[in-house]
A and B are shown apart, each in its own frame.
Chain A
């Protein structure tokens, strides 16, 4: 069973092998566990060869988008410009906490992955951007970088190869949006963490306007394993009939589930076995009602829909949802879906960077309608309005935060409409009367007046 539970036999521990083992945190401990062999190997290779190994392995972005990592690296050509690598450790997606464990327990694995990738993309400088609330991972990674410098693994003469590899650890300031790749770059540059318009893409003009590759913590950590153990080894893991998703993936499981935690399974693992066998299903003999399989931004699945799903990029897409970041949120039959969805929407309304009109206003409006429905003051038209707002919020903004808010709302509303209607129907005798024009007070503030 996934960390912090005893490991389940059906797990495939690659990244999570040393979770819970404090000895793996130190440089000596990490080296004793085979650490820095990948980097040594990579530094002896041509960067293009490193790119090709990762390309052949089929490793795809683990942050949510699933873009092939090797192909992303191959965009970086030796053009004489300074190149940068950004490691996205701003893991803020509700329900996702896999990168946190990687950074906490195996910080050297990350440093190794980052350094390997820096070599592959001709970069001398890398930044590890760690979510501000992650104090323990920040300490662990900072200590690991310091150790690596002291041991000559990083620095002007990395591992004695004459190659310069500098890694800076940066602490985020608490914004979800800074996990968006271009917002992260703005944040690193000291600007407000607003996503940038693309194009230009980071590979052309990223951090400080220079070619930049940005990868998720899990992707970079996995890349080091790929380099050390070869593309064939990595490719062999996965569903035999789906060569597009290879390797292992960490899934963070939370919510109404018997054994929440991080589980590492090969891609293509049956979701049904995962939920009921590995995670133990809903606690206390209750039934699972719904699952958000890939972090709060993806469409919700009902329990029935989960049964035939394979846990890989294609399998999730076939079920009308996304693998996303691998944050599995489980709701059992006691969950009040409208309230849960309202809570999710509230998160996005709080985190919208306020650039795009649709997102700034739409996330807040969605939240207010949902919260009003939960107060029992909703109307049936509200449900149609919600879907239409969601439509207007999708595919029209600079980044996908707006879509991320609309998606769970729309799917939740379609799949659990009866729960919304029940909340509205209960109050049908008392029609909702719009409050007077700007009162200047939120309902909460008005209510708290003495």
Chain B
């Protein structure tokens, strides 16, 4: 999908890119014809306040918030639904346009309960923001407010109709993007509300996006309900670990606890969306039963806490002494960790992994976007690093092999095979109970929320994730621990930064050639041979 244009392709010279020049708030802009004034204004660095417009949805033009003053137009024009024209002069912030917006805000607020202190959206509410920015300080509304009870829309969504401004983003998302038209506008006039088709719930795999799309606090996530105030949250760019699609997300933490996952827009991967599975795939990041200190088997055969230096030396010793090394690596590890594991594994060793699978759930209206069957973020990366995918990866174990378990879940594996293992070393976030009596060394590492690195999604796009919270106890970033172990084994120098690992990785693997850690940015880049992975979807 991202292969560079082949020179052999028939050379049809495209018509010279015609552009339209206009002036928005005194700033000249040049955009392709057909662009809306609102999008053109974004390019000029001018935000036209709006509610119903969303770049991922069909234009509705109903909130009338984006009315702008276009010179020579008899009336104010909706910026979202008006195409640019050559020589247009657009005023967004003149008296006429501001007065109209003030009017819209007053209308939207007359029946609004103004319950910001108990509303989850407060702090990230566009109604609140624009009202502060340019609304009236008071209301002239003296009548009783309209009241409708809160409705459970099913799935993860709660509807608070009193806060609803009927922008219809949710309706359009469900009908045009999810293509499961469960929501509608019911009734007319100011009695109107968002209705749900009789007998249907918002249980579509991607329905949770209506909560993000809602510019006010009318659609709420039950999972996040009353959990935190928007301004208490720390936000970090990350990549969803729920499947191999690699949706760009934001991990939101409060007091070192991940409390919410929200999509981060990336038109090459997930548009503006994240699925329900991805949204709710964060609780494990906060689990408390973590391996917090390095453990080395003591005299009684019981793992005992040890200093990092001592533990790394012990791990390196054990691994170096292996007659044959089998690395059971999680497909949830970063490219960097998997690369360093491949160094530790050496040419004689074997690397295996297993990926949980589940039903695929596409988002019909978005290209190549789905909750993928592979419920791990980096199966593709593991394959590129020479790890083999097996349903029963422990079958690779031969009598006397040393087994390195790198954060791989043991659930669902044939644990009887462990009996064939000689020594077992664990490098991971937890120490599985089955291994406590068997493990020679266990080294605690950070989970995805606690370190940074990159994943390769199923289409071969390499994307960075950043650290969102602090690691528990003495846990160290996976790349750091593995780098130290590799160095202690005499296999390359320990990296100082994840960027160092990535640089080494890109040097060793031609597929990653030309990529740099910094160059990936926060939107990622495809690996060179990023042909669609056949059959793994």
Say yes or no: is A380 at the interface (Cβ < 8 Å to chain B): no
Given A355-B62, A392-B100, A363:B189 Cβ within 8 A: yes
Give bound CA distance, A149 to B509, whole Å: 76
Q: Least Cβ distance of A174 to chain B in Å?
A: 11
A353 contacts the other chain (CB 8 A): yes
Instruction: Check A361–B107 contact: CB distance below 8 A.
Output: yes
The CA of A385 and the CA of B63, in the complex, are separated in Å by 22
**Residues in chain B near residue A437, CB distance under 8 A:** 113, 145
8 Å CB interface, B46-103 against A? 59-65, 67, 75-76, 78, 81, 100, 103
Asked if A397 meets B166 with Cβ closer than 8 Å, knowing A197-B59, A197-B81, A351-B188, the reply is: no
B140 contact set on A, CB distance < 8 A: 381, 385
Contact residue among A175, A361, A432, A440 (Cβ-Cβ distance under 8 Å from B190): A361
Pick the contact of B110 from A192, A197, A361, A432 — CB < 8 Å? A361
CB proximity to B under 8 Å, residues A17-68: none
Interface set, chain B 492-532, CB cutoff 8 A to A? none
A14 close to B (CB within 8 Å): no
Q: Once bound together, how far apart are the Cα atoms of A397 and B75, in whole Å?
A: 10
Q: Mark A271-303, 1 if CB is under 8 A from B, else 0.
A: 000000000000000000000000000000000
A150 part of interface (Cβ distance < 8 Å) = no
User: What is the total of A-B residue contacts with beta carbons within 8 Å?
Assistant: 110
> Are A361 and B143 within 8 A (Cβ)?
no
Whether the Cβ atoms of A357 and B144 lie closer than 8 Å is no
Q: Which residues of A contact B60 (CB under 8 A)?
A: 355
Residue of B nearest to A361 (CB): B107
B-contacting 9-mer, from A118-126, A247-255, A262-270, A364-372: A364-372
- In the assembled complex, A450 has its CB within 8 A of some CB on chain B: no
* Pair B78/A392 contact, Cβ less than 8 Å: no
A196 to B: closest C-beta gap in Å: 9
Contact of A365 with B185 in the complex, beta carbons under 8 Å: no
Q: Beyond A350-B188, A435-B144, is A357–B64 a contact (Cβ under 8 Å)?
A: yes
Residue pair A398, B61 in contact (C-beta under 8 Å): yes
Cβ B142 vs Cβ A372 within 8 A: yes
Instruction: Tell me, in angstroms, the Cα distance from A401 to B65 when the chains sit together.
Output: 18
CB distance from A360 to the nearest CB of B (A): 5
Asked if A351 and B189 sit within 8 Å, CB to CB, the answer is yes
Chain A contacts with B in 385-400, Cβ cutoff 8 A:
385, 391-392, 395-398
User: Are A356 and B62 in touch, CB under 8 angstroms?
Assistant: yes
Determine which of B65, B104, B165, B184 lies in contact with A192 in the assembled complex, contact meaning CB atoms within 8 Å: B184
Nearest A residue to B111, CB-CB? A361
B64 touches A352 (CB 8 A): no
When the two chains form their complex, are residues A368 and B143 in contact, meaning their CB atoms are under 8 A apart?
Answer: yes
What sequence of 0s and 1s flags, for each residue 99-127 of chain B, a beta carbon within 8 Å of any chain A beta carbon? 01001101110110100000000000000
Contact B162 A438 (CB under 8 A): yes
Q: Does the CB pair B144–A443 fall under 8 Å?
A: yes
Is A441 engaged at the interface, CB distance under 8 Å to the other chain? yes
Q: Are A354 and B76 in contact (CB under 8 A)?
A: no
Task: Tell me whether A358 is interfacial, beta carbon within 8 Å.
Answer: yes
Whether the Cβ atoms of A438 and B188 lie closer than 8 Å is no
In the bound complex, do residue A392 and residue B103 qualify as a contact, i.e. CB atoms below 8 Å apart?
Answer: yes
Question: In the complex, what residues of A have CB within 8 A of residue B106's CB?
Answer: 392
Within A428-443, the residues touching B (CB, 8 Å) are 432, 434-435, 437-443
CB B403 to nearest CB in A, in angstroms, measures 62
Q: Is the CB of A395 within 8 A of B59?
A: no
How far apart are the CA atoms of A382 and B59 in the complex, in Å?
Answer: 36
In the assembled complex, B255 has its CB within 8 A of some CB on chain A: no
B104 (CB) vs chain A CBs: closest residue: A357
Asked if A324 is at the interface of the complex by the 8 Å CB criterion, the answer is no
Contacts of A385 in B (CB 8 A): 140
**Interface membership of B187, Cβ < 8 A:** yes
Find the residue from B110, B144, B184, B192 having the highest chain A CB count within 10 A.
Answer: B144
Query: Are the C-beta atoms of A357 and B62 separated by less than 8 Å?
Result: yes
From the candidates B107, B165, B166, name the one contacting A392 in the complex (CB within 8 A). Answer: B107
Instruction: List the B side residues contacting A435 at CB < 8 Å.
Output: 143-144
Q: Contact mask B272-291 → A, CB, 8 Å, 1/0?
A: 00000000000000000000
Query: Which residues on B sit within 8 Å (CB–CB) of A381?
Result: 140
Asked whether any CB of chain A lies closer than 8 Å to the CB of B224, the reply is no
- Whether B100 pairs with A396 at a CB distance below 8 angstroms is yes
A361 partner, pick from B65, B76, B108, beta carbons under 8 A:
B108
Q: Flag whether A13 is at the interface (Cβ < 8 A).
A: no
Q: Which 3 A-B pairs have the closest CB atoms?
A: A392-B103, A354-B192, A364-B190
Which residue numbers of A lie inside 8 Å of B, CB to CB?
175, 177, 192, 197, 349-358, 360-365, 368-369, 372, 381-382, 385, 391-392, 395-398, 432, 434-435, 437-443
With contacts A353-B188, A357-B62, A441-B147 known, what are 15 further pairs, Cβ within 8 A?
A350-B189, A352-B190, A355-B168, A357-B108, A360-B192, A361-B108, A361-B190, A392-B100, A392-B103, A395-B76, A397-B64, A398-B61, A435-B143, A440-B147, A441-B144
Q: List 10 A-B contacts (CB under 8 A).
A: A349-B190, A350-B189, A354-B185, A354-B187, A355-B62, A356-B63, A357-B165, A391-B103, A396-B64, A432-B142
Interface residues of B (CB under 8 A from A): 59-65, 67, 75-76, 78, 81, 100, 103-104, 106-108, 110-111, 113, 140-147, 162, 165-166, 168, 184-185, 187-192
